[in-house]
Amino acid sequence: GAVVSQHPSWVICKSGTSVKIECRSLDFQATTMFWYRQFPKQSLMLMATSNEGSKATHEQGVEKDKFLINHASLTLSTLTVTSAHPEDSSFYICSAIKTGTSGLSTGELFFGEGSRLTVL
């Protein structure tokens, strides 16, 4: 399988501060990574699609200036929650698409362990 590592696994911060979450593909290159948010007992909500070397695509209703995404290399994408507020408290999960040997995506998504953010 493919391994995606996410860090930190949990973070507590004060309201108004910014928090950065890292997502790394450890044993494969990922030109595309995804960031999700999941509130308790709810399904995954796609926040944005992160493409290496280009701007991220944020989903409707997700503020791009509040949720900054940087995908500077083929193995690392970061999500920065700027000026975090209590309503941003959630479980943030990244995933990466594994590219097959043909260079095409197999469509399989591999998920990081998730980062639980609590904003006080």
Partner 1 sequence: QKEVEQNSGPLSVPEGAIASLNCTYSDRGSQSFFWYRQYSGKSPELIMFIYSNGDKEDGRFTAQLNKASQYVSLLIRDSQPSDSATYLCAVKDSNYQLIWGAGTKLIIKP
Name the residues that contact partner 1, by CB under 8 A. Answer: 6, 34, 42-44, 46, 91, 93, 107-114, 116
Residue with smaller CB distance to partner 1, 28 or 82: 28
Compute the least distance from the CB of residue 16 to partner 1, in Å. 27
Compute the least distance from the CB of residue 6 to partner 1, in Å. 8
Residue with smaller CB distance to partner 1, 63 or 108: 108
- Residue 1 has, within 13 A of its CA and on its CB side, a CA count of 9
